[in-house]
Structure 1
Amino acid sequence: MNKLWRRMCRKEDPSVYEQKDAHLARTLRVRDFLALGVGTIVSTAIFTLPGAVAAAHAGPAVALSFLGAAVVSGLVAFAYAEMSSAMPFAGSAYSWINVIFGEFFGWLAGWALLAEYFIAVAFVGSGFSANLQGLLSPLGFKLPTFLAKSLGAKGGFIDIISAVVIIAVALLLSRGMKEAARVENVLVIAKVLAVILFLVVGATAIKVQNYVPFIPKYHVNPDGSAFGGWQGIYAGVSMIFLAYIGFDSIAANSAEARDPQKTMPRGILGSLAIGVVLFVSVSLVLVGMFKYTDYANNAEPVGWALRQSGHAVIGSIVQAVIVLGMFTALIGMTMAGSRLIYSFGRDLLLPKWLGKLNKNNLPNHALLVLTIMAVIVGAIFPFDQLSQLISAGTLVAFMFVTLGIYGLRQREKKDIKNEGFKMPLYPVLPFLGFAGSLVVFLGISTEAKIYAAGWFLIGIIIYFLYGMKHSYLNKEKEDSQNGTE
């Protein structure tokens, strides 16, 4: 048993990751990471979740749910900023925890993030499809139900628009980072301008009575979840936590950052700050335009609210930009997910083929696998089930990273040099980040926890049956023993 535990806790030398990732070109600057972060954070969730959470849990107080999620995300973002500054490796939390706590724990953190990326890409693809269909429906465009909805929705078989857009983004990324970054930067600017246009126009349609009562009286929904009171706000926090997880996609690409000690903290914290301001503003305007109950089961509330308030043309413009802007989140999540899968293959915890690069030093094998899995997930799960499934895996990874700060500080004067960003108020803030992530995790639905438990069980089985035996660390140890003999 002691031998097994020692194998599970084998730690990777950070210098090995530096060598392994050296072939990845460091081309991304602060503005690229800001665009990547804002593009991922200010995405499907900002145009869909404010209405859904207001109707299902928080009422007009949905803005408080966004603020609560922002506080926890901010604490975790500080930890991510320090980790990516000290260890700018591909794979983010997976690689960091592998170095700090050991291979098995790194695998669990990475496996948790892999669920996030599979589901997040499918979630954004579903949001893209819903908004595009809402935009085109006034023109008489309507897909058959079996092609417009996922298998998990009534009458659905596959969301064909979602599948096509996911594949299109993968093809763009397969051409290289520079091309993707150019598209990302342009679309992010357009998307932020569209959000501002909604805020300005939507503010003219606000009716003060829609905010009263701001925190509705607490009661239990038919499905057993909370509505109203602080319980409803808390339920909303757990549902919308995914809105802010885009900063993780920045960290996953830190091996391709110029001067990561500066670019990573600025990109992570800057994009999160912009996202918080825009999320809270959109939620306040949206629930002020119409009573929160009007947004129940509405996957495109922003466009709907503008149309219903007499701004059909503005609504069409905003929604058109929204649809195009969702490419940015797909780019960010697909990039991050492919780098994570590449990292698994790089360390031989999954087949070596996944860690191979093409002639342009791009992890297109990993990109192919991520694309296929995201299309499958999007084909099975309906839009409203995907949000909490993302949060479950991500929160587990966040808990690992915040606790990892303690291990990092102990190593900084030994084999890890960190001359960049340091998480303030150490050792208090790392603990608060861990505690906040745990509290949010406890608030997600039972269904999401069951799915998460099943996902981790699969990951543990894969590790013990394949990863532990084939891993780079195991191979390295065997080679050293054979050399000694």
Structure 2
Amino acid sequence: MRPTGPRIKNPAQLIAESGADLEGHGLNRTMGLFQLVCFGVGAIVGTGIFVGLSDSVAEAGPAVVVSFLLAAITCVLTAFAFAELGSAIPVSGSSYSFAYATLGERTAFLVGWCLLLEYGVSVSAVAVGWGQYLNELLDSLVGWQLPAALSSPPGDGGVVNIPAVVVIGLAALLLVRGIRESARATAAMAVVKLVVLVLFCAIAFTAFRSDNLSPFTAHGIAGVTSGASLAFFSYIGFDAITTAGEEVKNPRRNIPLAILICIGIVTLLYCTVAVAAIGALSADEVADQPAALSLIVDRVTESAFGGGIIAFGAVVAIASVVLAVMYGQTRILMSMSRDGLVPHVFEKVSPKTSTPVANTWIVALVFAVPAAVVPLDVVMNLTTIGTLAVMASVNIAVIALRRRYPDAETSFRVPLYPVVPALGVLFCLYLIWGTGWRTWLQFAVFLAAGALVYALYGRRNSRLGLRQAAAAEAPAATPEG
């Protein structure tokens, strides 16, 4: 007899199962609110603003500020849903665990599959941009650069991106040492890059020309939409805060607070940087410049020294994003492994460091390959659409949470429910529309592959499914007489 009920885990069950892995070694709660906010900022601010700004400007022109605001609104609407779900289900699986508790196992697996794009593939996308700013830094310090064939994105003068592989390896090395060390490093790097971006704004505003903002919507509404879809990449990572659910002190309070604080800080910063950049240099000059911020400071100061400082900030910023996003990917795979949906090796935690060592090195090796050889625009577009699909599912999940578990314990509730999550879904779909049909097709193929993996491996090895099957067969196994 096969079980007919849905494969859903309630929040209490997820929290209970997250207490320790099968080996008896759990994760340690060592992160406070400040460290969590720094972790969130560390996961967000990086390639998107230091490298991707020029791509957004190329699409939207001076109206790129509106593009950043549209992307921010999408994130804010979804951030409310993440905050409620993160306080109700404070475990490591983030969107995957939220979907498992509300929408069922099949949807949860596909959400986890999409998270490979948001976290795993975005590691590749973020790492790709590291070499360009590393060259800017080396040039300002010693007047020497790595060969373009070994440091530029493939398809943009590069053949194999060695710095991308190096930064992924360094992040993995730090992550396996322990979450306390990783959190301290992320906090320090977050402070450095915020200071550098504030310094950039201070320098760029000294050369501000209002004429550079006209015509404001040079490429029309379609350009603003495309720019918003690209700008959204700059916000990817704020939900990584919810992957730290098992390593945060007082998670029901600190997770919602950290999410909303991070979105506020980053939105203000991005819009200010965008206005400063275009005000100092015209949109046409900023467009398609991979190290645009360094170029602007060099032009304004008429010296390579200022650009070198910006390049240093970018090197630190991108490294911190790689660190934080790799952390998130390993914790999601750990949650999926606990459920039997991916192999057992991903849930093993080292008793010495309390970190998933094998998991971390596998993630590093797998995603170093696309970082080395795949063009940046392909990786960024896939990451964006995968993240938007996950965010749409999170907004749906918070509606399902209210209906399925009306008495769930939570320290935060989405305001203006259900209008806000409904708007969150619509804004996600709007930005998905802006990614273009080629990205839709690539994503459809990726989803079909995920559905096949679930059918052939995940469904058969699901621990919840095996328990349900055993419970359904138990009466028939009772001896007669």
Alignment of 1:41 with 2:34, yes or no, is: no
1:270 match: 261
After superposition, the Cα gap between the structure-2 partners of 1:413 and 1:291, relative to the gap in structure 1 and judged at 3 Å, is closer
**Contact 1:242–1:391 (8 Å) recurs in 2:** yes
Quick one: which amino acid aligns to residue 15 of structure 2? E
Q: Select the residue among 387, 397, 410 that pairs with 2:380.
A: 387
**Contact 1:47–1:302 (8 Å) recurs in 2:** yes
Q: Deviations over 1:389-419 (max 9, x none)?
A: 11111111111110111111123345x322x
**Identity over the aligned pairs, expressed in percent?**
30
- Distance in 1 between the 2:40 and 2:257 partners? 11
Instruction: Quote how far apart the aligned CAs of 1:313 are.
Output: 1.7
2:17 match: 20
- Distance in 2 between the 1:349 and 1:296 partners? 43
1:144 match: 147
Q: Deviations over 1:288-332 (max 9, x none)?
A: 111111123311100011112214322212221221232221121
- Distance in 2 between the 1:427 and 1:41 partners? 27
**Contact 1:70–1:244 (8 Å) recurs in 2:** yes
- Distance in 1 between the 2:81 and 2:443 partners? 23
**Contact 1:54–1:62 (8 Å) recurs in 2:** yes
- Distance in 2 between the 1:320 and 1:144 partners? 19
**Contact 1:34–1:270 (8 Å) recurs in 2:** yes
Alignment of 1:322 with 2:314, yes or no, is: yes
Q: Secondary structure at the match of 1:426?
A: coil
- Distance in 2 between the 1:252 and 1:311 partners? 42
**Contact 1:395–1:437 (8 Å) recurs in 2:** yes
Instruction: Quote how far apart the aligned CAs of 1:387 are.
Output: 1.9
**Contact 1:348–1:472 (8 Å) recurs in 2:** yes
2:456 match: 465
Counterparts of residues 306-455 of structure 1 (less than 5 Å): 306-309=297-300, 310-359=302-351, 360-414=353-407, 416-418=408-410, 420-455=411-446
Quick one: which amino acid aligns to residue 311 of structure 2? Q
Say how many residue pairs are matched.
467
1:219 match: none
Q: Select the residue among 282, 285, 288 that pairs with 1:291.
A: 282
More deviation, 78-87/443-452: 443-452
Q: Deviations over 1:147-201 (max 9, x none)?
A: 2234x41553310001001110011000110001111111111111111111111
Quick one: which amino acid aligns to residue 34 of structure 1? V
**Contact 1:82–1:423 (8 Å) recurs in 2:** yes
Structure 1 gaps of 5+ residues are 217-227
**Contact 1:159–1:378 (8 Å) recurs in 2:** yes
**Aligned residues: CA RMSD:** 1.8
- Distance in 1 between the 2:229 and 2:474 partners? 52
Quick one: which amino acid aligns to residue 471 of structure 2? S
Quick one: which amino acid aligns to residue 198 of structure 1? F
Instruction: Quote how far apart the aligned CAs of 1:50 are.
Output: 2.3
More deviation, 306-315/72-81: 306-315
- Distance in 1 between the 2:307 and 2:158 partners? 27
**Contact 1:240–1:387 (8 Å) recurs in 2:** no
Q: Select the residue among 98, 101, 111 that pairs with 1:99.
A: 101
After superposition, the Cα gap between the structure-2 partners of 1:163 and 1:395, relative to the gap in structure 1 and judged at 3 Å, is same
- Distance in 2 between the 1:154 and 1:277 partners? 31
**Contact 1:238–1:444 (8 Å) recurs in 2:** yes
Q: Deviations over 1:222-274 (max 9, x none)?
A: xxxxxx11111111111111211221111111121111111001110100100
Quick one: which amino acid aligns to residue 343 of structure 2? P
1:176 match: 178
**Contact 2:11–2:88 (8 Å) recurs in 1:** no
- Distance in 1 between the 2:274 and 2:217 partners? 14
- Distance in 2 between the 1:442 and 1:15 partners? 37
- Distance in 1 between the 2:82 and 2:306 partners? 38
2:124 match: 122
- Distance in 1 between the 2:400 and 2:187 partners? 36
Structure 2 gaps of 5+ residues are 20-25
- Distance in 2 between the 1:106 and 1:164 partners? 32
- Distance in 1 between the 2:188 and 2:157 partners? 37
Q: Deviations over 1:309-364 (max 9, x none)?
A: 21432221222122123222112101101101111111110111112211133122
- Distance in 2 between the 1:166 and 1:338 partners? 13
Instruction: State the TM-score, normalizing by the size of structure 2.
Output: 0.93
Instruction: Quote how far apart the aligned CAs of 1:482 are.
Output: 4.8
**Contact 1:85–1:264 (8 Å) recurs in 2:** yes
More deviation, 161-170/118-127: 118-127
Counterparts of residues 48-63 of structure 1 (less than 5 Å): 48-55=51-58, 57-63=59-65
- Distance in 1 between the 2:277 and 2:157 partners? 30
**Contact 2:81–2:395 (8 Å) recurs in 1:** yes
Alignment of 1:79 with 2:101, yes or no, is: no
Quick one: which amino acid aligns to residue 336 of structure 2? F
Instruction: Quote how far apart the aligned CAs of 1:439 are.
Output: 1.1
**Contact 2:136–2:145 (8 Å) recurs in 1:** no
Instruction: Quote how far apart the aligned CAs of 1:100 are.
Output: 0.5
After superposition, the Cα gap between the structure-2 partners of 1:104 and 1:41, relative to the gap in structure 1 and judged at 3 Å, is same
